[in-house]
């Protein structure tokens, strides 16, 4: 009896091993939409030559690497770059941005105007349908706006649409968006708010989160969790059918594997390529991105409450050397502000503190802070070269006679310190900031106002400027306020300004694409060449 049980177990074990080893591989999960789903192959044959693009209709397929599985495919819920990369091709917005200048352009809206302080009117394009046949109209816009701001829905994207309090249908193709006060950034917000189909989105939340339906150039095909998301060209797209027939998004976590997959020809677009890998990539493109590493200074404590000391810290840093040594030159010096020229409010007259260690030492001496000891908190692994950057900066600060105590902490502790409030903030803390709304308000209010969530600096002048600008609807006046605030923050050396990192993309040799300032990936802008 005993032996029999043992044998049975062995037999069962062997059978299951063999079955698993020899069995036909099945996808790890059921595709979320069975109809018309193509066979779940995750990658094209490595040597597949691109299909010759016929003159008519979308053709060929590409694979885009993303960092992780999307958290959801509900376009209005999560603050997740992986989800956005996919849904930017399925859904559309009322407005969009020029890829190079950042200027706001019409998308699903043909035109827009501000009616009064709190009302913006949009005239919509006619005759557009969602992929499931639902009509795109004023009702869909109001539904989309009210869905994302619904407190019960509790969207992680709420801060992107924070000023919106509702919408009003004027006629089928005219809609008003209402704000809680004057909001000059409303058009920028409308490049963010994705328009969803009312009937489908309210039917079954779970289905909607797994099988998106938009108006965009690509239609959802399937999502096999952990493996891939596939989209196919929308031949009836109102803006003209896109050139590439099928797009697969594949999560690959490991950077070395992404590079290998690109080299092997298994994938066509790799985002966030690290500069060291560029020499091994045949086709790559780079553009100044939105990410700024920066160092927060606690301006409330000795000796950092002295503006001379803060300026000395800025003079002491050789920004060019950091860009070259750590990022292979794929970074620009931040011009005394944490904004790109594409951000509304960028001040073109403000420039970076030059590298001048002698000036730094003089200023420290004047302030009586030579040889002062400063605590410098950093973290490791969240951003590209974060720890290396902290160490290089500490060395440069020590070179001007300061005594820097570097403290690399766990992510959770780092977060606690970042949000600890101005009083408890460490003297220096490394962080990184990016502002996808492309409007100075988000950056200035979070980092440089007394009440800012990550601020350890406060100045009544700046507070007032940022507050007034938030509701100033005269565009030029508003820009002027930001210019003034940016200049003050730079003169006061409210932080250590560092670099603006590039976004680097590796592409397969036959893929043509120009990356965008805002970092979005629109597959309709890509073409495959023979």
Distance CA 171, CA 158 (A): 27
State both tokens at 418: 């970042």
Q: Decide: is 31 part of the binding site for other proteins (CB under 8 A).
A: no
Distance CA 440, CA 468 (A): 13
Contact segment (CB under 8 A) with other proteins among 181-189, 258-266, 456-464, 482-490 equals: 258-266
Q: Omega of the bond prior to 120 within 30 degrees of 0, cis?
A: no
Distance CA 374, CA 376 (A): 6
Distance CA 124, CA 396 (A): 55
Identify the CA nearest to 273 among candidates 89, 69, 65.
65
Strands 174-179 and 164-171: antiparallel
Q: Decide: is 283 part of the binding site for other proteins (CB under 8 A).
A: no
Q: How far is the CB of 264 from other proteins (least distance, A)?
A: 5
Tell me, by CB under 8 A, how many residues bind other proteins: 64
Contact segment (CB under 8 A) with other proteins among 95-103, 111-119, 226-234, 389-397 equals: 226-234
Q: How far is the CB of 68 from other proteins (least distance, A)?
A: 6
Residue number with CB closer to other proteins (65 or 175): 65
Distance CA 367, CA 353 (A): 18
Contact segment (CB under 8 A) with other proteins among 10-18, 93-101, 180-188, 512-520 equals: 10-18
Q: Decide: is 225 part of the binding site for other proteins (CB under 8 A).
A: yes
Q: Could you give the string, one character per residue 195-214, with x where binding to other proteins holds by CB under 8 A and - elsewhere? A: --------------x-----
Residue number with CB closer to other proteins (20 or 36): 20
Q: Which contacts (CB < 8 Å, 24+ apart) does range 401-404 have?
A: 401/361, 401/364, 401/370, 401/371, 402/316, 402/364, 402/369, 402/371, 402/372, 402/373, 402/374, 403/371, 403/372, 403/373, 403/374, 404/373, 404/374, 404/376, 404/428
Residue 454 near residue 296 (C-beta atoms within 8 A): yes
Q: How far is the CB of 251 from other proteins (least distance, A)?
A: 7
Residue number with CB closer to other proteins (57 or 226): 226
Q: Decide: is 305 part of the binding site for other proteins (CB under 8 A).
A: no
Q: Decide: is 34 part of the binding site for other proteins (CB under 8 A).
A: no
Residue 131 near residue 213 (C-beta atoms within 8 A): yes
Q: How far is the CB of 46 from other proteins (least distance, A)?
A: 4
Q: How far is the CB of 237 from other proteins (least distance, A)?
A: 29
- Indicate the angle between helix axes 357-366 and 307-315, nearest 10 degrees: 160
Q: How far is the CB of 207 from other proteins (least distance, A)?
A: 12
Q: How far is the CB of 401 from other proteins (least distance, A)?
A: 33
Place of tokens 């009616």: 115
**Which one of residues 113, 152, 254, 349 is an interface residue with other proteins (CB under 8 A)?**
254
**Which one of residues 49, 127, 152, 412 is an interface residue with other proteins (CB under 8 A)?**
412
Q: Decide: is 343 part of the binding site for other proteins (CB under 8 A).
A: no
Residues 130-189 that bind other proteins (CB under 8 A): 156, 159
Q: Is the dihedral of CA 118, 184, 127, 202 positive or negative?
A: negative
Q: Which residues of 165-197 are buried (b: 16+ CB within 10 A; e: fewer)?
A: eebebeeebbbbbbbeebbbbbbbbbbbbbbbb
- Indicate the angle between helix axes 386-399 and 319-327, nearest 10 degrees: 150
Q: How far is the CB of 359 from other proteins (least distance, A)?
A: 33
- What is the CB neighbour count within 10 angstroms for residue 477? 12
Q: How far is the CB of 39 from other proteins (least distance, A)?
A: 9
Q: Decide: is 17 part of the binding site for other proteins (CB under 8 A).
A: yes
Torsion of CA 125, 130, 133, 138, to 10 degrees: -50
State both tokens at 439: 């409007």
Residues 352-411 that bind other proteins (CB under 8 A): 410-411
Q: Could you give the string, one character per residue 426-465, with x where binding to other proteins holds by CB under 8 A and - elsewhere? A: ----------------x---x------xx-----------
Residue number with CB closer to other proteins (32 or 396): 32
Q: Decide: is 263 part of the binding site for other proteins (CB under 8 A).
A: yes
CA angle, residues 236, 120, 148, in degrees to nearest 5: 65
**Which one of residues 202, 257, 461, 529 is an interface residue with other proteins (CB under 8 A)?**
257
Residue number with CB closer to other proteins (335 or 439): 439
Q: Decide: is 3 part of the binding site for other proteins (CB under 8 A).
A: yes
What does the binding site for other proteins look like in residue numbers (CB under 8 A)? 1-3, 5-7, 9-10, 13, 16-18, 20-21, 23, 25-29, 40-43, 46-47, 68-69, 71-72, 79, 156, 159, 209, 224-228, 250-254, 256-257, 260-261, 263-266, 410-413, 415-416, 418-419, 442, 446, 453-454
């Amino acid at each position: 009896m005993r032996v029999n049980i043992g044998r049975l177990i062995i037999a069962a074990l062997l059978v299951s091993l063999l079955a698993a080893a020899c069995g036909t591989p099945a996808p790890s999960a059921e595709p979320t939409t069975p109809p018309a789903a193509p066979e779940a192959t995750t990658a094209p044959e490595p040597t597949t030559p691109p299909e010759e693009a016929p003159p008519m209709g979308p053709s060929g397929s590409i694979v885009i690497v993303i960092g992780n599985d999307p958290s959801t495919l509900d376009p209005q819920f999560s603050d997740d770059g992986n989800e956005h990369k996919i849904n930017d091709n399925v859904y559309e917005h009322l407005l969009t941005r020029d890829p190079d200048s950042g200027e706001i352009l019409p998308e699903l809206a043909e035109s827009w105007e501000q009616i009064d302080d709190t009302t913006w009117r949009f005239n919509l394009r006619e005759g557009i349908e969602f992929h499931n046949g639902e009509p795109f109209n004023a009702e869909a816009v109001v539904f989309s706006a009210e869905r994302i701001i619904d407190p019960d829905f509790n969207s992680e994207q709420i801060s992107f649409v924070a000023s919106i309090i509702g919408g009003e249908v004027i006629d089928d193709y005219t809609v008003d968006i209402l704000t809680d006060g004057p909001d000059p950034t409303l058009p920028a917000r409308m490049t963010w708010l994705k328009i969803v189909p009312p009937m489908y989105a309210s039917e079954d939340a779970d289905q909607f989160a797994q099988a998106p339906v938009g108006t965009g150039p690509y239609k959802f095909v399937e999502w096999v969790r952990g493996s891939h998301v596939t989209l196919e060209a929308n031949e009836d797209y109102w803006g003209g059918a896109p050139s590439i027939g099928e797009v697969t998004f594949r999560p690959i976590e490991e950077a070395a594997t992404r590079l290998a997959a690109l080299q092997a020809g298994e994938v066509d677009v790799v985002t966030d390529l690290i500069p060291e890998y560029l020499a091994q990539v045949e086709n790559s493109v780079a553009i100044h991105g939105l990410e700024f590493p920066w160092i927060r200074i606690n301006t409330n404590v000795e000796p950092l409450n002295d503006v001379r000391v803060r300026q000395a810290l800025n003079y002491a840093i050789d920004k060019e050397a950091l860009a070259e040594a750590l990022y292979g030159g794929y970074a620009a010096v931040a011009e005394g502000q944490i904004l790109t020229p594409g951000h509304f409010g960028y001040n073109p007259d403000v420039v970076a503190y030059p590298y001048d260690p002698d000036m730094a030492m003089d200023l420290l001496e004047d302030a009586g802070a030579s040889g002062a000891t400063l605590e410098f908190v950093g973290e490791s692994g969240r951003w590209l070269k974060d720890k290396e950057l902290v160490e290089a900066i500490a060395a440069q600060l020590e070179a001007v006679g300061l005594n820097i105590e570097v403290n690399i902490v766990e992510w959770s502790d780092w977060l606690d310190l970042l949000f600890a409030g101005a009083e408890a903030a460490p003297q220096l803390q490394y962080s990184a900031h990016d502002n996808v709304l492309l409007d100075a308000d988000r950056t200035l209010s979070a980092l440089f106002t007394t009440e800012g969530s990550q601020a350890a600096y406060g100045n009544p002048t700046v507070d007032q400027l940022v507050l007034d600008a938030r509701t100033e609807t005269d565009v030029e006046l508003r820009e002027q306020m930001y210019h003034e605030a940016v200049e003050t923050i730079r003169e006061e050396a409210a932080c250590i300004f560092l670099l603006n990192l590039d976004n680097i993309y590796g592409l397969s040799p036959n893929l043509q694409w120009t990356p965008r300032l805002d970092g979005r990936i629109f597959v309709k802008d890509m073409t495959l060449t023979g």
